[in-house]
């Protein structure tokens, strides 16, 4: 199948610009980062997106939208000139804003007014967005903070490749982890672990050296290359070798 040349060998960087401002200290317990994307495409471009297990609040064209944690990949069509400002909430930290289990909004995209009523920030930039968020800050929730800590542990510990290993590291039972993740993260611990381990695979691809796929699979805790390829394709929508051509 023919591929869009604009997605190969880093060509997308000629059409897109990205920035990732950090949140102010008082919002850092809730916000992992902000992200700003702009693009310019003469012809429509299919953008592959594989998010981390975060809730995202986006501001675009005078509207605000919430995207719950996504279990797989997404494709967004970019065309013409455009831009978006996004808020990536820390995985595990959105439950106090939502007032309901985060699993109820998994794979959902909906009007942000359902959670954040009132006027939107204008113009959209870091400072007005932070004032907007401060106006909606919830009461601290120790369970949400704990969930965020557990996800941060997964992200920082490549050796954690199974839920039972996470249980040992945290002192929580597998069932307790499942309940914590359903309530505060929105995706199960197994899926979240897999997402962060596969991040390491894409990081090695981006480094520019063709990976030894069998060795990489073993490093990520897979029994064999076939299991790694299956999981990668399920999440990213394409095989590791096909995806690697993007870099």
Domain boundaries, the chain: 5-141, 143-244
Residue 1 has pLDDT above 80, yes or no: no
Residue 245 contacts residue 206 (beta carbons within 8 Å): no
Q: Give the helix, strand, coil percentages of the chain, each rounded to 5.
A: 40, 20, 35
Question: Which residues are registered as beta bridge partners of 231?
Answer: none
pLDDT of 109 strictly over 70? yes
CATH of 5-141 given 2.60.120, 1.10.3470, 2.40.128, 1.10.10: 2.60.120
d(CA 156, CA 147): 14
Q: State the pLDDT confidence band at 12, using cuts at 50, 70 and 90.
A: confident
pLDDT at 147 (0 to 100): 98
Alpha helices by DSSP H, 7-87: none
pLDDT digit string, tens, across residues 180-225:
999 999 999 999 999 999 988 998 888 877 789 999 999 888 989 9
pLDDT value, residue 169? 97
Q: What is the CATH number of domain 143-244?
A: 1.10.10.60
**Nearest CA among 67, 88, 101, 89 for reference residue 178:** 101
Instruction: Look at residue 47 in the predicted model and tell me its pLDDT.
Output: 94
pLDDT band of residue 28 (cuts 50, 70, 90) is: very high
Note whether 5-141 and 143-244 share their fold. Answer: no
pLDDT in tens, 64-107: 999 999 999 999 999 999 999 999 999 999 999 999 999 999 99
Given the DSSP bridges, would you call strands 16-19 and 63-67 parallel, antiparallel or unpaired? unpaired
Distance between terminal CA atoms of the chain? 18
């Amino acid at each position: 199948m023919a591929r869009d040349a604009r997605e190969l060998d880093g060509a997308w960087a000629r059409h897109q610009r990205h920035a990732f401002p950090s949140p102010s200290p008082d919002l850092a317990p809730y916000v992992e980062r902000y992200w700003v994307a702009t693009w310019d495409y003469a012809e429509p471009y299919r953008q592959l997106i594989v998010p981390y297990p975060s809730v995202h609040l986006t501001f675009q064209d005078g509207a605000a939208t919430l995207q719950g944690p996504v279990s797989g990949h997404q494709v967004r069509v970019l065309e013409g000139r455009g831009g978006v400002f996004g808020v990536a909430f820390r995985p595990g930290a959105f439950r106090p804003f939502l007032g309901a289990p985060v699993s109820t909004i998994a794979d959902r995209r909906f009007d942000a007014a359902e959670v954040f009523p009132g006027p939107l920030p204008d113009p959209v930039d870091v400072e007005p967005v932070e004032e907007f968020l401060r106006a909606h800050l919830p009461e601290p929730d120790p369970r949400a903070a704990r969930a965020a800590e557990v996800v941060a542990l997964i992200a920082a510990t490549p050796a954690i490749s199974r839920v039972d290993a996470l249980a040992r590291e945290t002192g929580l039972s597998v069932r307790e982890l499942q309940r914590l993740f359903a309530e505060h993260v929105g995706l199960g611990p197994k899926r979240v672990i897999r997402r962060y381990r596969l991040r390491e695979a894409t990081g090695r691809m981006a480094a520019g050296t063709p990976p030894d796929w069998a060795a990489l699979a073993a490093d990520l805790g897979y029994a064999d290359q076939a299991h790694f390829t299956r999981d990668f394709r399920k999440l990213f929508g394409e095989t590791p070798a096909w995806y690697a051509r993007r870099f």
